[in-house]
Amino acid sequence: MQKYDDLTEFVLRMGDSALIQAQRLCEWTGKAPALEEELALMNVGLDLVGQARNWLDYAAELIGDGTDADALAYRRDERNYRNVLMVEQPNGDFAVTMLKQFLYDVWQFHMLSKLRESKDDRVAAIATKSLKEVTYHLRRSSDWIKRLGDGTEESHQRMVKAIDDVWRFTYDFLQLTEQENALIDSQVIGDVRDVAAQWQTKVNAVFVASTLTVPKPAEPFYLNSREGVHSECLGALLAEMQYLQRAHPNASW
Amino acid sequence: MRPGNLEGLIATDQESAPKTDKDLPFARQVLADVMDPEVPAVSVVDLGIVRDIGWQDGHIRVLITPTYSGCPATEAIEEAIRDALIAAGFVQAEVIQRLDPAWTTDWITDEGREKLRAYGISPPSGSASKRSLTSEPPVVLCPICNSDHTERVSEFGSTACKALYRCCDCLEPFDYFKCI
Ligand SMILES: [Zn+2]
């Protein structure tokens, strides 16, 4: 596993999370439940690909060995991916997809809000730009949690099952590493220490409004996204996403 | 993706001397004819994508800002701007992307808003800087009959910058240029 300096690791975490979430959304192409939903899923994915590109462009500059955003996206192995565990989980049904989106949106929204205050100009600029888009994403995914949770008997049951399926991965949103704390102390990045509490408050509020029970906070287990120890499914996702550049390196069109 | 309405410029300017820093106002006119590839009713100047037109190291330099992070038109716009300037007599043209300050629909010119409406797209309503996560939905006017009796069909539309609406009076569906 490749380890970079603290800032690069953090920038990769933001970029990789956006990229993998976008890739999962793409899987809905051609099979969303309604045309409007398909457009929405793809548009959110497109925003996230753009955000991933901004982060990975910056990561490539920080690494400074001639790599670029495409190489980082298409030629890194799963052990070198730093994305949060939630985004790599399979889409499941529409309830799982929207729940994953919502939990990630809440994290993004609060992270980016704070990252706007980073002393690092690039981090601040990317966060400011991304937050405008994420505000839209969060409004939409919150609405869906309410519609499904407080909807029909079936949609409610599916939300309950979705929470059961993915809740254990949420611990990743709640913890900061020593290295991230150092970045905060030196003000290179904004103070994201409150994000865990803000995440819990927002998720609780939406769950309660959706007649959904809030599980107790998830506990860490053996997976560790910062160390590249991901769920099995990330490897399969990357195999598909990276196929073309692996089979035909530097192919362009 | 080629900029429109440049035939006249190309014909008259080919014979003249290469453009210099004194021709920056002219460059602005040239860019006013470079249309957004996804919303061809408005130019890159109308949309507020062009942030600065300057002269550096002996050539023209244009700063642009993307509308949305993932806007697939950004590269096409860069290329269209470069092509238009070179066709207009600037020997070398540099186009640089800047994220900061982040683009906002508040930068769309009044003329741009009018052009959007005429094209059938309802322009952004209100000020982006005053909106937040919990803001009330904006009042969106139907671009066809001007009614404010409209409803949102989808938070997203044919491109990232638009949402889908429907007019409850004339019943026409239309695109709304989201306020960000
Ligand atoms: Zn109408």
Shortest CA gap B22–chain A (Å):
32
pLDDT reported for residue B126: 79
Residue B111 Cα to ligand 1 midpoint, Å, equals 21
Asked whether the beta carbons of A111 and A192 are under 8 A apart, the reply is: yes
* pLDDT confidence tier of residue B71, bands split at 50, 70 and 90: confident
Cα A100 from Cα A87, distance rounded (Å): 7
* pLDDT score of B12: 52
Query: What average pLDDT does this structure show over B26-31?
Result: 96
pLDDT-derived band of residue B1, with 50, 70 and 90 as boundaries? very low
**With bands split at pLDDT 50, 70 and 90, how would you rate the model's confidence at B6?**
low
Determine whether the interchain pair A126/B99 forms a contact, defined as Cβ–Cβ distance below 8 Å.
yes
Terminal Cα distance for chain B, rounded: 25
Residue B15 has pLDDT above 70, yes or no: no
Residue A253 at interface with chain B, using a CB cutoff of 8 Å:
no
DSSP classification of residue A229: B
Most B CBs within 10 A among A129, A135, A137, A201, hence the mutation to make, goes to A129
User: Hey, what CATH class is B3-97 in?
Assistant: alpha beta
More confident residue, B82 or B159: B82
Q: Which of A2, A18, A133 is nearest to B133 (CA)?
A: A133
Cα-based angle A241, A243, A245 (whole degrees, multiple of 5): 100
Average predicted confidence (pLDDT) for chain A: 96
pLDDT in tens, B88-132: 999 999 999 999 999 999 999 999 999 999 999 999 987 877 766
Cβ neighbours of B133 in A, within 8 Å: 109, 135, 138-139
Q: Do A135 and B133 touch (CB under 8 A)?
A: yes
> What pLDDT shows up at residue B9?
52
Distance B39 CA to ligand 1 centre (A): 21
How is residue A124 written in tokens?
A: 């601040």
Question: Which tokens is A101 given?
Answer: 């989106």
Q: Minimum mean pLDDT among A141-150, B37-46, B66-75: which range? A: B66-75
Neighbours of A226 (CB within 10 A): 18
On chain A, the residues whose CB falls within 8 A of the CB of B156 are: 36, 39-40, 43-44, 140
> What are the sequence ranges of the domains in chain B?
3-97, 118-177
Q: Which pLDDT score is estimated for A8? A: 98
Q: Are A96 and A86 in contact (CB under 8 A)?
A: no
What mean pLDDT do residues B15-29 have? 89
CB-based contact (8 Å) between A136 and chain B? yes
- Tell me what pLDDT residue B2 has: 47
Question: According to the model, what pLDDT value does residue B135 have?
Answer: 66
Of A44, A49, A125, the CB nearest to B99: A125
**pLDDT over threshold 70, residue B3:** no
Kindly report each contact of residues B81-86 with a partner whose C-beta sits within 8 Å and lies 24 or more positions away, as own/partner.
B81/B3, B81/B31, B81/B34, B81/B44, B81/B50, B83/B2, B83/B3, B84/B3, B84/B6, B84/B30, B84/B31, B84/B33, B84/B34, B85/B27, B85/B30, B85/B31, B85/B60
- Using alpha carbons only, give the angle B111, B117, B121 rounded to the nearest 5 degrees: 125
Looking at residue A41, its pLDDT comes to 94
Cβ-count burial of A36 within 10 angstroms (0-12 exposed, 13-18 middle, 19+ buried)? Answer: middle
3-class DSSP state of A100: helix
* Spatial strand order in the sheet of B50-56: B50-56, B59-64, B93-97
Mutate to test the interface with A, among B77, B97, B99, B165 (most CBs of A within 10 A): B99
Q: Which positions in chain A touch B68 (Cβ < 8 Å)? A: 46-47, 50, 133
Q: Indicate yes or no: CB of B69 within 8 angstroms of CB of A51.
A: yes
- Residue A16 contacts residue A81 (beta carbons within 8 Å): yes
**Given a cut of 60, is residue B14 above it in pLDDT?**
no
Element (H, E) at B95: strand B93-97
Low-confidence ranges of chain A (pLDDT < 70): none
B133 pLDDT exceeds 90? no
Mutant choice from A43, A112, A122 vs B, greatest count of B C-beta within 10 A? A43
At residue A248, the pLDDT reads 93
